[in-house]
Structure 1
């Protein structure tokens, strides 16, 4: 028997076995990016729970031990795919995850599963819309995950419709914003100082972040941005001193060591929180990454450096015509330099506001609070119903 199939079968049996133990009312279990650490929407929901000083048993499933911002005494760590992690999942009252759970995982009727997802508004097609290019086991896991989920978190009508049409999901949706984006509205000055302190930068420095998405072939040749030319253009256009933080996608972050860094070109792939970097950023340069749709709520400039658009679309088609987005698009370094030098903020803001209105985006900086209100309601009342209509619950089945 294939070792993976055998391992999954044993894990499935263990899940059923641990159902002999009762579900613990105050236990919440978190996971992010299949155990890669504390990050994204689940992290900010956890922080809101800690902020409210709620008496919950907080458990994180991760591939390595967690020592995060001096709160390790408030969060328990269990290892990804361990027997202990199966026990914790089988006995937690609430699950919170931003990625698909593995196919062998099963939820009990008395448990509540909040699927926050990790992409919100997307440029490239995902899930059911890209089923023909996705791994078969992933698709089976995704369908199982959607069957288990009690609530999905949305930041827009676009996202809500995407869940309905493409996630094999007909359950409830909370259209409250993305918890990870709360800091892009509330705490940009704080995180600008934090990032400057972390990288030992002057607090008055201007930060451009280059954050491209991954390619299936892990090719770095498409990331040939001329950093020095960009910095020169940024100085000429906007004034002041500039640095560029280079943030590779987590799937290829190990390749960050292949990039040559200087005092003005900084390795952002080693930093553990993309959203904090976005909060500190003054201008975002990306290609097809959904980070553009998070960052745009700050109303700061975004320029797309997309050198391989036609090739990329062969792998995964787009939900939007990239030329119709409110962002400048450059296909080479000369166009990138021109895009910076010719940037017109008034035109940009006008196009951006129209785009945000078209997608009906709901980002008000209180998403984490609203999700925690849902959690408290379920734990205290043991009901999946949300009484207060202000939470914009869109009911499904």
Structure 2
């Protein structure tokens, strides 16, 4: 039915219907005054307390700044998500949610806004984005792969955004060239990455206690992205052989945390788990998992660039490079990246056996210099100071 409507309806009518469904014509909220100290957060269209918004919130709470903090979250998790007492969860895509947005001085989101009332001139919308440096092409660069509805809403989102938050010169250029955006960009770093550059003893203890991992164990996190066709065959890592290889190369006991992409997390049972191979796909905060991990194994996920700021090993397991490139293509030649690449389990074990940490660190340093990486562990502070002093 959606495809039929797209074909028979003029573009302007289609745009009107999309905006109507998104709540954009609820002008009745103009009757209510704006509370300049109210901030409304949204995370991945209604997810729980995580990503950049969480760390901005934490910075506000820790410094006891006088802001009313509202978090839009899905009804299914509104009573389950672990919100601080200073944060009020409100149902995403609700009349109450529209009211909170309409009366807030600041909006903060990490995805394109898909449900919001008419934005007023005295409101400020900060877009933190959820990807940072990207390997796979996105937004305008894959416009032919995106739906008409998404393109309309993405352009509208960029039009109403007041500030984008960047973590690198590469990211800034990507916003300019690929996001239909010409507004303010602040190169503050990614708030969610601050935790990766902090001392992590407490996070290590928290994660190991939560998953009942021995305190002496080291952790490899396997965090691949999803495939557009839903193919699960590409996630065929031999975890038992991997554990043996890790213990031989890096010594000590190891645990593997499996963190699947949100598009895959509900199908996570296709992997066989045990006490050493643990399903972490439903854990609230990906960045706490990364902070507690010693090695990241991924494929095409942008987490490779974020985890690399720790200078801990990142290894890519990529069975389907050519097939994947046909779907999205890449911003970088994947073979030019500073990460070891394995296209099957045998090569994965070889890459671990031959891994040289100092050589790897040198490659990371040069790569970050080339792309203008700006992460310093102070992004949350930078964003909050920007809100307090400039907005």
TM-score, normalised via structure 1 length? 0.92
Judging changes above 3 Å, is the alpha-carbon distance between structure 1 residues 276 and 8 closer, same or farther for their aligned structure 2 residues?
same
Judging changes above 3 Å, is the alpha-carbon distance between structure 1 residues 266 and 76 closer, same or farther for their aligned structure 2 residues?
same
Q: Are the counterparts in 2 of residues 209 and 244 from structure 1 also a CA contact under 8 Å?
A: yes
Q: What value does the CA root-mean-square deviation take over the aligned residues?
A: 1.8
User: Which residues in structure 2 correspond to 1:214-293 (within 5 Å)?
Assistant: 214-293=226-305
Q: Are the counterparts in 2 of residues 37 and 66 from structure 1 also a CA contact under 8 Å?
A: no
1:303 aligns with 2:315: yes
Match of 2:328 among 298, 308, 316: 316
Q: Are the counterparts in 2 of residues 302 and 328 from structure 1 also a CA contact under 8 Å?
A: yes
Match of 1:44 among 42, 50, 55: 55
1:20 aligns with 2:31: yes
Per the alignment, residue 66 of structure 2 pairs with 55
Q: Are the counterparts in 1 of residues 48 and 81 from structure 2 also a CA contact under 8 Å?
A: no
| Structure 1 SS opposite 2:121 | coil
Task: Using the TM superposition, give the Cα deviation of residue 6 of structure 1 relative to its aligned residue in structure 2, in angstroms.
Answer: 6.1
Once residues 19 and 39 of structure 1 are traced to their aligned partners in structure 2, the CA distance between those partners, rounded to angstroms, is 30
User: Which residues in structure 2 correspond to 1:1-397 (within 5 Å)?
Assistant: 9=20, 12=23, 15-64=26-75, 65-66=78-79, 68-69=81-82, 71=84, 73-102=85-114, 105-378=117-390, 384=391
Once residues 281 and 146 of structure 2 are traced to their aligned partners in structure 1, the CA distance between those partners, rounded to angstroms, is 26
Q: Structure 1: give runs of 5+ residues left out of the alignment.
A: 379-383, 385-397
TM-score, normalised via structure 2 length? 0.93
Q: What are the superposed Cα offsets for residues 118-146 of structure 1, whole Å, 9 maximum, x if unpaired?
A: 00000000011111101211111111111
Task: Using the TM superposition, give the Cα deviation of residue 13 of structure 1 relative to its aligned residue in structure 2, in angstroms.
Answer: 6.4
Q: Are the counterparts in 2 of residues 244 and 266 from structure 1 also a CA contact under 8 Å?
A: yes
Judging changes above 3 Å, is the alpha-carbon distance between structure 1 residues 347 and 60 closer, same or farther for their aligned structure 2 residues?
same
Q: What are the superposed Cα offsets for residues 327-355 of structure 1, whole Å, 9 maximum, x if unpaired?
A: 00000000001010110112111111110
Q: What are the superposed Cα offsets for residues 198-256 of structure 1, whole Å, 9 maximum, x if unpaired?
A: 01111111100110000011211110000001100000000000011111001111011
Once residues 290 and 271 of structure 2 are traced to their aligned partners in structure 1, the CA distance between those partners, rounded to angstroms, is 20
| Structure 1 SS opposite 2:281 | coil
Q: Are the counterparts in 2 of residues 26 and 56 from structure 1 also a CA contact under 8 Å?
A: yes
Q: Are the counterparts in 1 of residues 55 and 192 from structure 2 also a CA contact under 8 Å?
A: yes
Aligned residues: 378
**Stretches of 4+ moved more than 4 A in 1?**
1-8, 66-70
Task: Using the TM superposition, give the Cα deviation of residue 9 of structure 1 relative to its aligned residue in structure 2, in angstroms.
Answer: 2.3
Judging changes above 3 Å, is the alpha-carbon distance between structure 1 residues 253 and 10 closer, same or farther for their aligned structure 2 residues?
closer
Once residues 359 and 353 of structure 1 are traced to their aligned partners in structure 2, the CA distance between those partners, rounded to angstroms, is 10
Once residues 7 and 358 of structure 1 are traced to their aligned partners in structure 2, the CA distance between those partners, rounded to angstroms, is 40
